[in-house]
């Protein structure tokens, strides 16, 4: 299936695009080929298609230009194949409030359009994601255990957020490809140490693991090779804040060094530092940077949800 045909499938199956709807594609120079394919697909489906190309953002979570943000808020459907993530931006939040259906695709590649998470049975992904999200909402605490390290997170008063890859109703949004349930922990309520051994934003697939130390919700230490690439996280308290706990629910997702797919890998857990205002948190930072934990044990309150990377849930 070529890029345009696959883009048509995405527009129909995930976004429920209809003839005459305003479909905006927001892309940057590095992802223009994919953005153009989605634009052409939308045209072929009879949509009022628009393509906006901006300069690549410097970090994930950086706001797009004001003109792009305004166009997003005026569209019915917005798809964002970009090098850096627009998921956790005010532009996306405001567009959703105006009723836009949005799929963000940070660092999407041509290969990811053709295999891996994009090819999942999204009925199964949606069911597991719903079950995980409900448990996150009900839980007061989360505990991740791996290789002698333990990290606890305070979830009280926060709701889980599903990202099943299906955004057919006004105001629905998330990643594509997708498959995760996630939550914004209380900003000063995370403590402990954890091994990040899958991939890390800014570093890609990790050849050697990182070890992070968190106290009162703030990252205080990063240990590992090339940790200097993560200096932005220690720049200020907002960037250092542990802002997200996520759980991957897509059985077809492949660890590839691109966080868009990596954080969806079935049975993984990820934590992110930085901005979380787009999904129930209060921390607006200069970035949002995720790290993937492979084969963890995960407990929500006293219930073990994942054991060595395998779900213990019935769904």
Return the higher-pLDDT residue of 113 and 183.
183
Using pLDDT thresholds of 50, 70 and 90, give the confidence band for residue 275.
Answer: very high
pLDDT tens per residue across span 74-108: 999 999 999 999 998 999 999 999 999 999 999 99
Q: Residue 313 is encoded by which pair of tokens?
A: 């849930």
Query: Higher-confidence residue: 157 or 122?
Result: 157
In this predicted structure, which of 110-119, 153-162, 251-260 has the lowest mean pLDDT? Answer: 110-119
pLDDT computed for residue 130 by the predictor: 96
Percentage of the chain lying above the pLDDT 90 cut: 85
Q: Which domains does the chain have, with CATH numbers?
A: 3-114 (3.40.1830.10), 120-311 (no CATH)
Q: Break the chain down into helix, strand, coil percent, rounded to 5.
A: 30, 35, 40
Strands of the chain, DSSP E: 22-28, 48-54, 77-82, 101-106, 141-146, 149-154, 161-163, 173-175, 180-183, 190-196, 199-200, 204-205, 210-215, 218-223, 242-248, 269-274, 288-293, 297-300, 303-307, 310-311
Confidence band for 120, pLDDT divided at 50, 70 and 90: confident
Using one digit for the tens of pLDDT, what is the confidence trace for 161-198? 999 998 999 999 988 989 999 999 999 999 999 999 99
| Average pLDDT for 33-51 | 97
First to last CA, the chain: 31
Number of neighbours of residue 83 by Cβ within 10 angstroms: 17
Residue 1 pLDDT greater than 80, yes or no: no
Q: Return the ∠ at Cα 169 (arms to 164 and 173), rounded to 5°.
A: 50
Residue 315 pLDDT greater than 80, yes or no:
no
Tokens of 226: 């090339």
pLDDT tens column, 211-244: 999 999 999 999 998 888 999 999 999 999 999 9
Give the rounded percent of residues in the chain with a pLDDT score beyond 70. 100
Contacts 24+ apart (CB under 8 A), 92-99: 92/173, 92/278, 93/277, 93/278, 94/69, 95/69, 95/173, 96/171, 96/172, 96/173, 97/73, 97/171, 98/73, 98/74, 99/170, 99/171
Least confident of 4-8, 92-96, 138-142: 4-8
> Hey, which bits of 229-287 come out as E strands?
242-248, 269-274
Band of the pLDDT at 66, cuts 50, 70, 90? very high
- Output the pLDDT for position 227: 83
Please provide the average confidence, as pLDDT, over all residues in the chain: 95
């Amino acid at each position: 299936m070529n890029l345009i045909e696959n883009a048509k499938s995405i527009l129909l199956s995930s976004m429920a695009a209809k003839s005459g709807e305003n479909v905006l594609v927001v892309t940057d120079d590095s992802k223009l080929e994919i953005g153009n394919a989605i634009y052409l697909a939308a045209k072929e489906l009879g949509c009022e298609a628009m393509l906006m190309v901006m300069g690549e953002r410097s970090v994930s979570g950086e706001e797009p230009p004001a003109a792009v943000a305004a166009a997003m808020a005026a569209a019915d459907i917005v798809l964002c194949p970009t090098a850096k993530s627009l998921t956790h931006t005010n532009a996306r939040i405001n567009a959703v409030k105006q009723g836009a259906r949005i799929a963000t695709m940070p660092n999407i590649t041509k290969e990811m359009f053709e295999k891996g998470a994009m090819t999942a049975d999204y009925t199964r992904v949606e069911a597991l994601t719903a079950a995980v999200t409900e448990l996150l909402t009900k839980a007061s605490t989360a505990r991740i255990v791996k290789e002698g390290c333990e990290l606890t997170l305070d979830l009280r008063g926060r709701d889980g957020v599903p990202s099943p890859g299906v955004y057919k109703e006004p105001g629905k949004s998330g990643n594509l490809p997708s498959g995760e349930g996630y939550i914004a922990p209380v900003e000063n309520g995370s403590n402990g140490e954890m091994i990040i051994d899958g991939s890390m934003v800014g570093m890609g697939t990790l050849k050697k693991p990182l070890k992070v130390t968190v106290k009162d919700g703030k990252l205080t230490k990063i240990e590992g090779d090339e940790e200097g690439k993560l200096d932005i996280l220690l720049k200020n308290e907002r960037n250092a804040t542990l802002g997200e706990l996520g759980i991957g629910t897509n059985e077809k997702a492949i660890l590839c060094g691109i966080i868009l797919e990596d954080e969806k890998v079935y049975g993984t857990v990820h934590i992110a530092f930085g901005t979380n205002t787009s999904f129930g948190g209060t921390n607006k930072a200069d970035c949002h940077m995720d790290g993937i934990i492979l084969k963890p044990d995960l407990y929500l309150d006293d219930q073990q949800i994942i054991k060595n990377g395998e779900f213990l849930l019935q769904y």
